[in-house]
Amino acid sequence: MPDQVNARRRRLLQTTVAGISLMELGLSGLVHAQSKEGTGGTKPATPRAGFAAIRQVKAGTLDIGYAEAGPSNGPVVILLHGWPYDIYSFAEVTPLLAAAGYRVIVPYLRGYGSTRFLSADTPRNGQQAVVAVDIIALMDALKIDQAVLGAFDWGARTANIMAALWPERCKAMVSVSGYLIGSQQGNKAPLPPQAELAWWYQFYFATERGRAGYEANRHDFNKLIWRLASPKWNFDDATYDRSAESFNNPDHVAVVIHNYRWRLGLVEGEAQYDALEQRLAMAPTISVPTITMEGDANGAPHPDPAMYAKKFTGKYLHRTIGGGIGHNLPQEAPKAFADAVVDAARLA
């Protein structure tokens, strides 16, 4: 009996290793699926490598942690990260823009880094509209009337929503992977099998096993996502670990799980955002000057640029960045991203 048990264990281990290897080798080549993804003062906090300091400001329902660089009277650029990344995706972009005279604001999204909910009673909501509301609240708290937005992943969806619903607050936009506004209704439509496979983590998160697994293994889980999403990016452990600290936020798991479950219609959002979601469900066009970007080796699910070009009705350019650039484009190609931000501002 012990020999039979050991044999079964060896087969299970071999199957698991083989499955992970297939994902690492194959996901980057899958068919691309279109993603459906108050006021107060500031105070300095602990200095961090890559940024002079992390500041905090009370904004809406959050106490938002953010980095700032550049002249205080410069035109404002707000840079928005995605999952599972953080502000350090812009560690090299920020000084380039600051040197060009921009005031650069790089906030931690809800559930990341030093951003915290002001009340224990506030739902740990991750629906798409609420993240955009957070950034509008941040702009209000910092008395910023208008900004250029530069973003990817969740951040790009947030920037898209801001540009669509509050165009007066958005001077111009750089959006990696283009147009990412979605809806629960739209997400009901099944995708081709390979595209569904690319969203494997979304279905994992739909289960309680997935929630528990992410809670227990978020460091290694997100490192795997980095590798799959950017298969040609040879980041080192120190680079990953610097960002992974932000996943220790006490609300991180709840916000991430709610985000992906909300997309599939498995959980409700907050009623106060229903009107915004109804407008977003209509897939509104975006009129602000925009440059969309894509890496030539993006292993994460993303739409083909031809699918979304007509959603941008103002001045518009698209750039595909070569050289093995993956999903985390600002960190993998910081100069190209910074150049796009400057060029988008000029379009305005």
Cβ–Cβ < 8 Å for 24, 228: yes
Is the pLDDT reported for residue 34 higher than 90? no
* pLDDT tier, 6 (very low <50, low <70, confident <90, very high otherwise): very low
Rounded-to-integer distance, Cα 346 and Cα 68, Å: 22
Name the pTM for this structure.
Answer: 0.86
Please give the pLDDT value at position 157.
98
Rounded CA Rg of the chain = 20
pLDDT in tens, 287-299: 999 999 999 999 9
Reduced to 3 states (helix: H, G, I; strand: E, B; else coil), residue 211 is: helix
pLDDT tens, residue by residue, 259-283 = 999 999 999 999 999 999 999 999 9
Residue 52 pLDDT grade (very low, low, confident, very high; cuts 50, 70, 90): confident
Q: How far apart are CA 47 and CA 243, in angstroms?
A: 15
Query: Is the model's pLDDT at 7 over the cut of 80?
Result: no
pLDDT value, residue 43? 40
pLDDT for residue 48: 44
**Crossing angle for the helix pair 252-263 and 208-229, to the nearest 10 degrees:** 90
User: Would strands 147-151 and 76-80 be described as parallel, antiparallel, or unpaired?
Assistant: parallel
User: Which domains, ranges and CATH numbers included, belong to the chain?
Assistant: 33-347 (3.40.50.1820)
- Mean pLDDT score of the chain: 89
The predicted pLDDT at position 42 comes to: 40
For residue 254, pLDDT over 60 is answered with yes
- pLDDT value at residue 50: 76
Half-sphere exposure of 255 toward its Cβ, with a 13 Å CA cutoff? 24
pLDDT of residue 270: 97
171 or 43, greater pLDDT: 171
pLDDT exceeds cutoff 50 at 31: no
